[in-house]
Amino acid sequence: MMGAGKTRVGRETAQMMGVPFKDADIEIEHEIGMSIPEYFSRYGEPEFRRVESEVIADTLRGFGGIFALGGGAPMTPSVQRTLHEYMDQGGRVVYLQADPAEAMERANRGGGRPMLAGDANERWRTLFRQRDPVFDRIANVHVRTHGSTPQMAARKLMNMIDERVVHVDVVAADSYNVRIGEGALNHLAAVLGSGVARVALIHTQPVQRHSDKARALLRQAGYDVHDIVVPDAEAGKTVAVANGVWERLGVEGFTRSDAIVGVGGGAATDLAGFIAATWMRGVRYVNCPTSLLAMVDASTGGKTGVNTTAGKNLVGSFYTPAGVLADLTTLVSLPNDIFVEGLGEVAKSGFIRDPQILRILENHADELRGFDGATFLGSGLEDVAAELIERTVRVKAYHVSADLKEAGLREFLNYGHTLAHAIEKIEHFRWRHGNAVAVGCMYAAELAHLLGYIDQDLVDYHRSLLSSLGLPISWNGGSFDEVLSLMHRDKKARGNKLRFVVLDGEPGHMVHLDDPPADAVEEAFRRIRR
């Protein structure tokens, strides 16, 4: 809106990023050879909008910087088409959301605004009612500047511009975006939307600093926030914990128009999604993962659930979030071992779909294995991690988009999981999921080799890559009989027959393996116990 500070914030952002800045009003005045108020008075608004539309289209064709548009420009259909084309090519269209009182005061002080002729404040409010829904719909980045200096707003904008965005377009379910980058959490209010009044903020104690930020953003946006702390890790993924949350929601009067926000690791986001899927048969929810594992796995894909005494994730639902905000700043609080275990899921995604992930892991194994949250932000490793997260999420999005409910293609995401879930259960969930998946991938590779699907070199490659990242490649826990019993309860099993997913020839080529020979199943298990 007029007075939001587009020119000042735009210039600051461009300077921080080292890119050029242009202002549409200045470009238009160069084109028409007079001031905009004078042109408005002489030729009228329709003619001005035509010129404005042409200038914007011409500028966006070859400009690689920050471009501040006039407040009325996005209301013109031709400009809307230009902006949509720009976004389709990867461009960012930013809605700078200022405090109305501040914006009106600045707009009045600046003067020279034909659209505010007459009662300026009343005219501003009228325009806001008309424009706000359009701006909100058109923009793919929303930056709230309430209480921010121009420098603070510019830094927030810069972080959002640098974000990586993966669109998850799900058949027979709502699509959503996964945003990856520093400050991604700032999108929280925009993703929740204006139709929500109350928000249940579900989080664990170890991520208090991140839940504090989420709570502040929610309250700043006017939501009524209800804090719900759950046990950390798998201890929080139980029916008893879920029941306690349902009781809280009932007592506090949550309705179908309210929402859930999950902040934390994979277990917390799984639980938050399960609560959202089951309360009132489904309410809006947003995932804010704070660990590498949660960013690449649990928060994306629409799987929600809890564990039972019978096994892991056997009770749950398929329910997509409104959005996922993978804020890289949350990784600074991760201990090294928690970061490294997330690499198990990253490597799995490389094996099943994107071999470039494997090459990145190879090239940066020492840095990844030595992760230190204190030096992470601003380092070269941050860019590496961001690319790995984006690529892994794209692998998941590919499988989920066509097969939300795991009827076929999505099962390939479970590479290594048949044994992994058995290990977690036998170890009473003291083993981290990503570590169990790494061992599970080794097991799947050994089984595939025994049955002639892959050669020994690819088995050895699994071993060398996973161990170079600091991930385990063997397990000496329970007996084969215990493991076999649990693998028969795996979600991929069909009747009394085991079902695995294995590589066929090379990474990126997957097949289902139904009812493999019992001796091969046992021999592969023996080989990962070395």
* pLDDT tens-digit readout, 163-220: 888 888 876 667 888 999 988 998 898 899 888 889 999 999 999 999 999 999 999 8
**Start-to-end C-alpha separation, the chain:** 66
pLDDT of residue 179: 92
Of 163, 226, 207, 439, which Cα lies nearest the Cα of 334? 207
Residues 20 and 125 in one domain: yes
345 annotated binding-site participant: yes
What is the domain extent for residue 149?
6-159
281 annotated binding-site participant: no
Strands 303-308 and 311-318: antiparallel
Residues 177 and 154 in one domain: no
Residues 430 and 524 in one domain: yes
258 annotated binding-site participant: no
Structural domain count of the chain:
3
221 annotated binding-site participant: no
* pLDDT confidence bin for 407, thresholds 50/70/90: low
Quick count: other Cβ atoms within 10 Å of Cβ 120? 17
Residues 100 and 186 in one domain: no
Residues 98 and 22 in one domain: yes
200 annotated binding-site participant: no
Residues 191 and 277 in one domain: yes
72 annotated binding-site participant: no
**Last residue of some domain: 304, 330, 356?**
330
- Residue 45: which CATH number? 3.40.50.300
268 annotated binding-site participant: yes
Between CA 290 and CA 262 the distance in angstroms is 10
425 annotated binding-site participant: no
Reported as a single tens digit per residue, the pLDDT across 51-102 is: 999 999 999 988 889 999 988 899 999 999 999 999 888 888 999 988 887 7
Q: Which whole-number Å values give the CA distances from 388 to 120, 149, 173, 416, in the listed order? A: 50, 33, 26, 19
69 in a structural domain: yes
35 in a structural domain: yes
Contacts of 136 (CB under 8 A, 6+ apart): 95, 142, 190
187 annotated binding-site participant: no
235 annotated binding-site participant: yes
175 in a structural domain: yes
Out of 32-46, 288-302, 431-445, least confident range: 288-302
Residues 216 and 144 in one domain: no
Reported as a single tens digit per residue, the pLDDT across 176-188 is: 889 999 889 988 9
Residues 27 and 73 in one domain: yes
Residues 305 and 177 in one domain: yes
Between CA 230 and CA 236 the distance in angstroms is 6
463 annotated binding-site participant: no
237 annotated binding-site participant: yes
504 annotated binding-site participant: no
266 annotated binding-site participant: yes
301 annotated binding-site participant: no
Between CA 188 and CA 406 the distance in angstroms is 29
Given phi > 0 = left and psi -120 to 50 = alpha, else beta, which region is 144? beta
Radius of gyration from C-alpha coordinates of the chain: 26
Q: Does the pLDDT of residue 248 top 70, yes or no?
A: yes
Reported as a single tens digit per residue, the pLDDT across 317-353 is: 888 899 999 999 999 999 999 999 999 999 999 999 9
Strands 284-289 and 224-230: unpaired
71 annotated binding-site participant: yes
For the chain, give the longest Cα–Cα distance. Answer: 89
356 in a structural domain: no
User: With pLDDT > 90 as the criterion, what percentage of the chain qualifies?
Assistant: 59
Of 121, 70, 69, 72, which Cα lies nearest the Cα of 100? 121
255 annotated binding-site participant: no
**Last residue of some domain: 118, 141, 159?**
159
Alpha helices in 139-224 (DSSP H): 150-161, 188-192, 208-220
